[in-house]
């Protein structure tokens, strides 16, 4: 089997570290592995499939001879370095926001628009985490009845702010647990433990945040629905690494609850957990503690939208998915898997 | 000034204890105070305005001579004992669910339908906490443009399950902070710390929970809107005592964002905290840590609903309010204040 030279840019962060694990889990045939990070991390070593890999400083020269580059760095570094990887002949799958809305760059969730990888020009973008987690279960319902409108409230985990966000929440929980004064917030704008922060990203058009607009803008591009209307409210919650979303959909055509449930139960990437009779809460509905460190989007609380003036045109559900895995690393490596075939 | 004999039924719980404090803060002219609880608590003493009050066992005889009874007990105790209070000649303001939908019982949020106290027949009901917190800011917008539909996702605090719920979350945070195994959940169906539980109450019509249906059923009665359609998703979050809600409203008539903001800024019981330019996150939007142990509903993130097909018929906002105070005790004592005049 052909072996590929693969680089991870930003290999030491929460997403980069998870990408490494996903390469192994998804059985990607890795020949040479290059782990690229800031000069600060260069020289450290990481184990991969029984080999010790030394982290290198991320510089343009590091991409020479690469077949694929997985991007897990921030927007600025992605913009600076990834075009160099393309020039060096590599195909890039990038998790940053830098290229997502570029009309020359496919934005891909394999369960939805895997075929879009075909028209890439060197870069394929990985969508925003909340976008992926909300769209994976929306897609099978769209295929049934044509989604026209989404009203979404998110419950987003600390991991969305990377390893520093998770460490900050853990430190706050520990301080609270020991009855000590909470450390000053740095990763977030305010204390997160026992609190909610209803702003993720900067304010953009009409008072929506950048994170809130991603679901509409990226959703339109991924689902090929330029007219899709999305009202999103993004809220940071004191949960470590699974995002949850409360989603209300409106459709062009009638859709019954039974059809919706059947489509969700059969959809790739989805696990339906929606047993109202179950004794154990873990079987009754999805919860973040159950969906952490696995790859599926769990969907439950599926019901008719009783507020929709047209009785069979609305469905409401709740979903949870691991922010670092399917929200980022897993999806990126699934795109790589599509490219390799 | 006339002094009243007032009893609190369920005086030792989270809401009952808060009612006592609210009686003092709202300067209710209390002559004799009777604190009623289970036999277990009888004999304990509580301080009120410099006097020591001994807790009595809640029995029908305890209501003799009472002018008013504040109910802070559960549904079963309310149903058993409060009709005895009415028979004894007292007027009852009850926080339980027992009488809320009874057509002979006004269900009152003073900022909205204070005038409804006039037709009581001995019992006035205090609405559900999430209902009060969501409706106080919805009401001024309804007055402007006529609300027809609400899509609501809640972020509900542990205090909604009373003192045992708060103690359970605190014990879980402490165990996590000390790196110990979490105690078995009792107040909630699963671990709440670093988790979300998307079910509050039992499952009712069409898969909505009892808590979710309250917003529609109680909202219709309080706002005198029998056709109001509400789609609510209620979620328990690891926050101690403030509920938050993400609310999308649809209207009969056009409403501009400016009109909506002006109405909210002027509305009784509401504090508008919505300054996108503010340096400090605490001035930018409402958060549960800032709204705990005070009486107003804080509203922010007010914006046009960009998903509504009619551009000026939708408003979206975020609000937070103290669950024990305005969600329960404060509202009940405000009703008592209306009765006393």
Provide, as residue numbers in chain B, all residues whose Cβ is less than 8 Å from the Cβ of A176. 173-174, 177
Cβ contacts (< 8 Å) between B289 and chain A: which residues?
Answer: 190-191, 194-195
For B206, which of A199, A287, A306 is closest by C-beta distance?
A306
Please tell me the distance in Å from A295's CA to the nearest CA on chain B: 18
For chain A, give the percent of residues with pLDDT over 70. Answer: 100
Q: Which of A112-126, A286-300, B168-182, B238-252 is least confident?
A: B168-182
Strand partners, A47: A52
Neighbours of A52 (CB within 10 A): 8
Report residue A28's pLDDT band, with 50, 70 and 90 as the boundaries: very high
Verify whether residue A66 is a known catalytic residue: no
Is pLDDT of A239 > 90?
Answer: yes
CA distance B224 to B248: 20
Question: Is the CB of residue A78 less than 8 Å from the CB of residue A98?
Answer: yes
Instruction: Quote the pLDDT of residue B177.
Output: 80
Cα B241 from Cα B291, distance rounded (Å)? 9
In the predicted model, what is the mean pLDDT of residues B32-55?
97
CB contact under 8 A, B196 and A314: no
Structure confidence at residue A216 as a pLDDT band (50, 70, 90):
very high
- pLDDT at position A179 is 86
Cβ pair A238:B238 closer than 8 A: yes
B320 annotated active-site = no
**CA of B11, closest CA in chain A: separation in Å?**
26
Of B219, B232, B237, B242, nearest in space to B139 by CA: B219
Residues of A in contact with B196 (CB under 8 A): 155, 237, 239, 244, 287-288, 320
Q: Rounded to whole angstroms, how far apart are CA atoms B182 and B194?
A: 12
Residue A194 is nearest to which of B151, B238, B284, comparing CB atoms?
B238
Q: What is the mean pLDDT of chain B?
A: 97
Of the candidates B120, B243, B319, B320, the residue annotated as catalytic is B243
A148 belongs to an annotated ligand binding site: no
For A4-127+329-340, give the CATH class.
alpha beta
**CB contact (8 A) between residue A307 and residue B230:** yes
CB-CB: which of A233, A240, A314 is closest to B318?
A: A233
| Mean confidence (pLDDT) of chain A | 97
3-state secondary structure chain B: CCCEEEEEECCCCHHHHHHHHHHHHCCCCEEEEEEEECCCCCCCEEEECCEEEECEECCHHHHCCCCEEEECCCHHHHHHHHHHHHHCCCEEEECCCCCCCCCCCCECCHHHHHHHHHHCCCEEECCCHHHHHHHHHHHHHHHHHCEEEEEEEEEECHHHHHHHHHHHHHHHHHHHHCCCCCCCCCCCCCCCCCCCECCCCCECHHHCEHHHHHHHHHHHHHHCCCCCEEEEECCECCCCCEEEEEEEEEECCCCCHHHHHHHHHHCCCEEECCCCCCCCHHHHCCCHHHHCCCCCEEEEEEEECCCCCCCCCEEEEEEEEECCHHHHHHHHHHHHHHHHC
Given 3.40.50.300, 3.40.190.10, 3.30.360.10, 3.10.580.10, which CATH number is that of B131-323? Answer: 3.30.360.10
Check pLDDT > 90 for residue B131: yes
B53-64 per-position pLDDT tens digit:
999 999 999 999
Tens-digit pLDDT profile for residues B153-167? 999 999 999 999 999
Among residues B129, B232, B234, B320, the one annotated as catalytic is B129
List binding-site positions of B for NADP(+).
12-15, 40-41, 159-160, 323
- Asked whether the predicted pLDDT for residue A135 surpasses 90, the reply is yes
Of B180, B299, B183, B289, nearest to B238 by C-alpha is: B289
The torsion angle over the Cα atoms of residues A260, A261, A266 and A267, rounded to 10 degrees, is 60
Q: Which residues of A169-201 are buried (b: 16+ CB within 10 A; e: fewer)?
A: bbbbbbebbeeeebeebebbbbbbbbbbbbbbe
Contact B176, A177 (CB under 8 A): yes
Confidence of residue A124 (pLDDT cuts 50, 70, 90): very high
Q: What is the CATH number of domain B4-128+329-340?
A: 3.40.50.720
Chain A partners within 8 Å of B308 (Cβ): 229, 231
Flag if A304 and B206 touch (Cβ within 8 Å).
Answer: yes
Domain boundaries, chain B: 4-128+329-340, 131-323
- What pLDDT shows up at residue B303? 98
pLDDT at B341 over 90: no
A12 is in an annotated binding site: yes
Q: What are A9-19's pLDDT values in tens digits?
A: 999 999 999 99
Cα–Cα distance list, A116 to A112, A119, A120, A175 (Å): 9, 6, 8, 47
Q: Which of the four pLDDT bands, split at 50, 70 and 90, describes residue A223? A: very high
Given the residues A22, A66, A129, A232, the one annotated as active site = A129
A15 is in an annotated binding site: yes
DSSP string over A311-337:
TTSEEEEEEEEETTIIIIIHHHHHHHH
Counting residues of chain B whose pLDDT is more than 70, the rounded percentage is 100
Residue A39 has pLDDT above 90, yes or no: yes
Q: Return the residue in B161, B178, B243, B246 with the most chain A beta carbons within 10 A, the one to mutate for interface testing.
A: B246
pLDDT of B240 strictly over 90? yes
A278-286 long-range CB contacts below 8 Å, 24 or more apart?
Answer: A281/B189, A281/B190, A281/B197, A281/B199, A282/B190, A284/B189, A284/B199, A285/A318, A285/B198, A285/B199, A286/A244, A286/A318, A286/A319, A286/A320, A286/B198
Q: Is the pLDDT of residue A177 over 90?
A: no
A160 is in an annotated binding site: yes
Mean pLDDT of B102-109: 98
User: For residue B304, which phi and psi values (nearest 5 degrees)?
Assistant: -65, 140
A49 is in an annotated binding site: no
Closest residue on chain B to A152 (Cα) = B153
Nearest to A305 among B231, B303, B314 (CB): B231
Position B39 scores a pLDDT of 96
A140-166 pLDDT, tens digit each: 999 999 999 999 999 999 999 999 999
- pLDDT of B75 higher than 90: yes
Q: Between A190, A237, A318, which is nearest B237 by CB?
A: A237
């Amino acid at each position: 089997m052909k072996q590929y030279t693969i680089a991870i840019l930003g290999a030491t962060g929460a997403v980069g570290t998870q990408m490494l694990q996903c390469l192994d889990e998804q059985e990607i045939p890795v020949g040479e592995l290059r782990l690229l990070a800031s000069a600060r991390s260069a020289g450290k070593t990481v184990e991969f499939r029984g080999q010790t890999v030394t982290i290198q400083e991320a510089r343009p020269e590091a991409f020479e001879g690469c077949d694929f580059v997985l991007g897990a760095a921030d927007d600025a570094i992605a913009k600076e370095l990834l075009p160099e990887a393309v020039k060096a002949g590599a195909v890039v799958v990038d998790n940053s926001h830098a290229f997502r809305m570029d009309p020359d760059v496919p934005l891909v969730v394999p369960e939805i628009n895997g075929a879009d990888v075909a028209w890439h020009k060197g870069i394929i973008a990985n969508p925003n985490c909340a976008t992926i987690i909300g769209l994976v279960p929306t897609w099978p319902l769209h295929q049934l009845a044509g989604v026209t409108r989404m009203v979404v409230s998110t419950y987003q985990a600390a991991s969305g702010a990377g390893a520093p966000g998770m460490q900050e929440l853990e430190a706050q929980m520990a301080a609270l647990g020991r009855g000590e004064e909470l450390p000053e917030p740095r990763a977030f704008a305010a204390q997160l433990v026992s609190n909610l922060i209803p702003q993720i990203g900067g304010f953009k058009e009409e008072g929506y945040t950048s994170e809130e607009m991603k679901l509409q803008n990226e959703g339109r591009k991924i689902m090929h629905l330029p007219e899709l209307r999305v009202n999103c409210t993004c809220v940071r919650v004191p949960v470590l690494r699974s995002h949850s979303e409360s989603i209300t959909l409106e459709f062009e055509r009638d859709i019954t609850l039974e059809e919706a449930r059947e489509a969700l139960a059969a959809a790739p990437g989805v696990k339906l957990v929606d047993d109202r009779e179950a004794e154990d809460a873990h079987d009754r509905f999805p919860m973040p503690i159950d969906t952490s460190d696995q790859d599926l989007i769990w969907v439950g609380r599926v019901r008719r939208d009783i507020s929709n003036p047209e009785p069979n045109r609305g469905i409401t559900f709740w979903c949870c998915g691991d922010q670092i895995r399917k929200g980022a690393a897993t999806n990126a490596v699934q795109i790589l898997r599509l490219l390799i075939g």
